[in-house]
Structures are given as structure tokens and as C-alpha cells.
Amino acid sequence: MNPANPGNPGNPRDPGNPGDADDSGTYWDPGPVSRPYTVTGGRTRPQGSWQFDLVDFVVRTPKAVDTTYVSPERSRILELCRYPAAVAELASAIGLPMGVVHVLLGDLLQENLIEVSAAAPRGRVTDLNLLRQVLNGLQAL
């Protein structure tokens, strides 16, 4: 409670700050403690030649890992990959940008701690029979 202004309880996040009616909108969540590039050591591209897609499935391999030397983000990915998970799901679950997750997955793939399966064929896929069926369906509308 603000003794100078009994109607203004102050900032609920900082009980030592009585607050002011004019600054109620200035308190905001500062976000993550470290910048995403610090998680990857400044790297912006994953190691290796694999190009991760949002729908690729990732699963942990049975290879043992010494968790003493694994970052919290990598540990979380390995924990989530006990069961197959899409790359997009992993990024959402750990709350990091997709580019950072790609770099971390590239590291884990290089260390043979995960396996990646493409959920859909890459490149141009042309099935004339399927295209004819779609065309016939559209013409029937």
C-alpha cells in the first residue's frame, strides 16, 4: 500500500517500491537472462550437412551421455526426445528461437545423441495421378 496514495497499491512485483499511478505500465518481463547466441557459442548454422525442417522427427539414441558437461538446453532437448518429437515442438517446449534449436540439434546429431527422420520427402514431388484426382475434384465443385 502506498501511504501517499492509498488508492495505489504500488508495484506488485516489487513490494519495496510504492509505485505511482502514472508508471503502472512500465513494468515488463525482461525475457531470457542470456541472449540466444550465447547458448550456441555465437554460431548461427548447425554442424554437418543435415537441413532441419519444422516437421522432421527427432529421437534420442541409446548412447549414454555425461550430463555434467551438457548445457541445460541440450539436456532438455535430450529429455524431450525420449519419444519422437518434431523440431517445431522442441523449439516451442524449450522456448528458444528455431535457429538456436537447429544449432543445438546439429551438435547433438554430430555427437550421435539423436537421430533425425525426415517426415516428408524433400524437393519436388510430382504424382500425376494425384494431380489428376485433385483437378477432377476441383472441377466437380
Asked whether residue 130 is assigned to any structural domain, the reply reads no
- Please indicate, yes or no, if residue 140 is contained in any of the structural domains: no
pLDDT computed for residue 140 by the predictor = 86
Q: Residue 16's pLDDT is what?
A: 54
Query: What confidence score (pLDDT) does residue 31 get?
Result: 58
- The predicted structure's pLDDT at residue 71: 86
Please check whether residues 69 and 109 belong to one and the same domain. Answer: yes
Q: What is the mean pLDDT of each run of 10 residues along the chain (141 residues)?
A: 51 51 56 68 79 90 83 91 93 90 92 87 73 86 80
pLDDT at residue number 128: 80
pLDDT of residue 32: 56
pLDDT of residue 72: 87
DSSP 20-53: -GGGTT-------SS-HHHHTTT--S-SSS----
Residues 19 and 78 in one domain: no
HSE-up (13 A, CA, CB side) for residue 49: 0
Measured distance CA(104)–CA(43) in Å, rounded: 10
Q: Round to whole Å and give the CA distance between 34 and 127.
A: 47
Tell me if 125 is assigned to some domain: no
Residue 55 lies inside a defined structural domain of this protein? yes
Structural domain that includes position 64 = 36-117
Co-location of 4 and 73 in the same domain: no
Burial 27-63 (b: 16+ CB within 10 A, else e): eeeeeeeeeeeebbeebeebeeeeebbeebbbebeee
Residue 104 and residue 44 share a domain = yes
Shared domain check, 47 and 14? no
Domain with residue 88: its CATH number is: 1.10.10
Distances (CA, A) of 6 to 11, 18, 26, 95: 13, 10, 20, 40
Within this chain, do residues 19 and 73 fall inside the same structural domain, yes or no?
no
71 touches 65 (CB < 8 A)? no
pLDDT, position 34: 63
Residue 77: its pLDDT value, please?
93
CB 108 within 8 A of CB 74: yes
